[in-house]
């Protein structure tokens, strides 16, 4: 068993060099930053957008469109 552990230690030492660890750390930082940006965008997307609506018609379709717009966004 001792010989096996010696071989494993040697292989791990050879694999864990700065040239292999630096890209792993950089990728972790990049993906962490991307997750942060996406999370912020999702929080912003949850808020209702503010829209301006000019209703110059009193028809049934106009009333329906105004009501739907008011449900989906903040109408000013």
Per-residue pLDDT for 1 more than 80?
Answer: no
Query: Each residue of 20-71: pLDDT tens digit?
Result: 999 999 999 999 999 999 988 887 778 888 999 998 988 999 999 999 999 9
Among the listed residues 57, 59, 54, the one whose alpha carbon sits nearest the alpha carbon of residue 69 = 54
pTM (2 decimals)?
0.49
Query: Each residue of 9-28: pLDDT tens digit?
Result: 999 999 889 899 999 999 99
Task: Report yes or no: 75 and 69 within 8 Å, Cβ to Cβ.
Answer: yes
Tokens describing residue 15 = 């694999």
Tokens describing residue 38 = 């996406």
């Amino acid at each position: 068993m001792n010989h096996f552990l010696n071989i494993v230690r040697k292989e791990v030492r050879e694999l864990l060099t700065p040239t292999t660890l630096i890209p792993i750390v950089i990728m972790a930082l990049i993906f962490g930053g991307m997750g942060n940006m996406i999370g912020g965008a999702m929080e912003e997307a949850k808020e209702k957008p503010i829209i301006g609506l000019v209703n110059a018609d009193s028809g049934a379709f106009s009333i329906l469109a105004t009501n739907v717009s008011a449900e989906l966004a903040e109408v000013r």
